[in-house]
């Protein structure tokens, strides 16, 4: 039992996470190169799920990888959902300042900032240009919850913001797509299907797991499962990285210039948007947990929607640009988790702007550095 707990804490240790991330990326690249996965036409994850329910699923490489993305995201999302006290969702929904910050940056700033970066860096590469603009259209509806979770932010707030963004996307994506890219055709219901698949299912599973667990074991007993659940989230993250990098592993080795061309504007986008929103929250008097939640919800992009639109409405080269996107986004967002945690004390704790409950919950997942004793 002690050895198992020790292994779990090694997986959760913040200092080891970059090593695990790099290893997962390398494993994915090697797997993609070995099997030439870029030669296969990518199956949208939603189509693979539909095929299962229709009894038409075939165990092909594209279908299996599509399911790998779904499984990995579920493993990442589910543990965060089990931590939510659902009565907190109502409190989070009554936070107009936080909601207005996210709405402004997601819909008045982010799409146009990404468009400007595309014009600056990719004007001579029309397919990459289109893929980057597509990537900036919609805010993320899944992984930002995990990044908020890892950064010890307000998970309930993140879920409320994601739910609102999900509704706004269905209304505004066609408008922004036509405004920024011209007349394109795609099924807007793919947005609703993504919400159900990536947000709805983990949320329902987390709700019933928490409810049944507390009913049988009590609050204290359920908290003892926390270490295992948090480890599951990190393992899901690493598994998702392996799958994502396997999708284009051979391409990364054969055509690294494409990765670099996309990486420069995307890295600038994520760091600048996150930094501006994070410090805006700090300047407006938000506590650490809410500042992290609004920053990640304003920064993360919905790569599932971008890939689905690219596959159905554009040529394979545009789809390739959107598939490359999460290979850059996930490592950068993990770096932003590290940045937020590193600045937490200096910006927030010294001013008493941290929720006490979250401080108590934080210890097992990412180790806190003990304060030095005065000499």
Q: How far lies 146's CA from each of 76, 81, 202, 238, in Å? A: 6, 9, 12, 12
Whole-angstrom distance, CA of residue 130 vs CA of residue 135: 9
Architecture of 2-351 per CATH? Up-down Bundle (1.20)
11 phi/psi in degrees, rounded to 5: -60, -35
pLDDT in tens, 43-96: 777 777 888 888 888 887 777 877 888 898 898 888 888 877 766 677 777 888
> Using one digit for the tens of pLDDT, what is the confidence trace for 130-150?
999 999 998 987 789 889 988
Helix (H, G, I), strand (E, B) or coil at 139: strand
Count helices and strands in the chain by DSSP H and E runs: 19, 0
Q: What are phi and psi of 264, to 5 degrees?
A: -65, -55
Average pLDDT value for residue range 14-28:
81
Average pLDDT over every residue of 347-369: 55
Q: Which residue has the tokens 């099997």?
A: 35
> What does pTM read for this prediction?
0.80
Label residue 332 by pLDDT band (50, 70, 90): very high
The gap from C-alpha 232 to its chain's centroid, in whole angstroms, comes to 16
Nearest to 76 by CA among 120, 142, 136, 135: 142
Q: Report the C-alpha gap between 225 and 231 in whole angstroms.
A: 10
Say what the pLDDT of residue 355 is. 66
List 139's β-bridge partners, or say none.
Answer: 301
CA angle 173, 120, 338 (to 5 degrees): 75
pLDDT at 129: 95
Comparing CA positions, the residue from 253, 256, 234, 242 lying closest to residue 326 is 242
Q: Residue 291: its pLDDT value, please?
A: 95
Q: Which stretches does DSSP call E strand in the chain?
A: none
- Taking residues 160-185, report their average pLDDT: 83
Of 52-61, 137-146, 158-167, 290-299, give the lowest mean pLDDT range: 52-61
Residue extents of the structural domains in the chain? 2-351
- 8 Å CB contact between 11 and 235: yes
Query: What's the rounded Cα separation, in Å, for the pair 248 and 38?
Result: 5
Q: Contacts from 360-368 at CB under 8 Å and sequence distance 24+?
A: 361/83, 361/152, 361/226, 362/152, 364/9, 364/12, 364/226, 364/227, 364/230, 365/12, 365/150, 365/152, 365/230, 366/12, 366/13, 366/14, 366/150, 366/152, 366/341, 367/12, 367/13, 367/14, 367/15
CA distance 297 to 156: 12
Least trusted range by pLDDT, from 159-168, 263-272, 311-320: 311-320
d(CA 151, CA 362): 9
**Distance of CA 23 to CAs 8, 69, 242, 270, 337, Å?**
17, 18, 9, 23, 19
Per-residue confidence (pLDDT) for residue 9, from 0 to 100: 52
**Pick from 321, 334, 277: which is nearest to 135 by CA?**
321
Q: Can you tell me the distance from the alpha carbon of 242 to that of 245, in angstroms, rounded to the nearest whole number?
A: 5
Cβ pair 32, 245 in contact under 8 A: yes
Please indicate whether residue 351 or residue 167 has the higher confidence score (pLDDT).
167
pLDDT of residue 297: 96
């Amino acid at each position: 039992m002690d050895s198992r707990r020790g292994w779990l804490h090694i997986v959760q240790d913040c200092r080891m996470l970059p090593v695990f991330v790099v290893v997962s990326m390398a494993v994915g690249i090697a797997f993609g190169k070995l099997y030439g996965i870029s030669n296969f036409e990518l199956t949208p994850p939603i189509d693979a799920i539909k095929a299962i329910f229709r009894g038409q699923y075939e165990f092909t490489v594209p279908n299996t990888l599509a399911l790998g993305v779904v499984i990995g995201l579920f493993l990442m999302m589910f543990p965060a959902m089990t931590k939510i006290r659902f009565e907190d969702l109502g409190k989070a929904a009554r936070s107009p300042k936080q909601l207005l910050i996210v709405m402004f940056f997601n819909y008045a700033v982010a799409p146009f900032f990404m468009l400007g970066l595309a014009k600056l860096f990719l004007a001579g590469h029309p397919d990459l240009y289109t893929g980057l603009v597509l990537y900036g259209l919609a805010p993320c509806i899944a992984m930002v919850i995990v990044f908020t979770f890892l950064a010890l932010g307000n998970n309930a707030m993140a879920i409320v913001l994601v739910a609102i963004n999900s509704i706004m996307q269905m209304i505004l994506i066609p408008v922004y797509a036509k405004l920024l890219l011209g007349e394109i055709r795609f099924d807007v219901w793919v947005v609703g299907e993504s919400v159900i698949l990536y947000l709805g299912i983990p949320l329902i599973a987390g709700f019933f797991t928490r409810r049944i667990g507390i009913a049988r074991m009590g609050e204290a007993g359920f908290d003892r499962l926390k270490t295992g659940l948090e480890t599951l989230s990190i393992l899901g993250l690493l598994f998702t990285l392996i799958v994502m990098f396997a999708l284009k592993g051979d391409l990364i080795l054969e055509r690294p210039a494409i990765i670099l061309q996309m990486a420069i504007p995307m890295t600038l986008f994520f760091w600048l948007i996150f930094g501006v929103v994070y410090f805006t929250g700090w300047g407006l008097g938000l506590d650490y947990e809410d500042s992290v939640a609004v920053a990640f919800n304003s920064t993360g992009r919905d790569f599932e929607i971008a890939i689905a639109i690219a596959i159905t409405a554009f040529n394979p080269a545009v789809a390739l640009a959107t598939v490359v996107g999460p290979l850059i986004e996930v490592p950068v967002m993990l770096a932003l988790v590290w940045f937020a945690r590193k600045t937490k004390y200096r910006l927030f704790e010294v001013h008493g702007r941290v929720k006490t409950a979250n401080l108590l919950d934080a210890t097992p997942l990412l180790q806190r550095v003990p304060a030095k004793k005065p000499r």
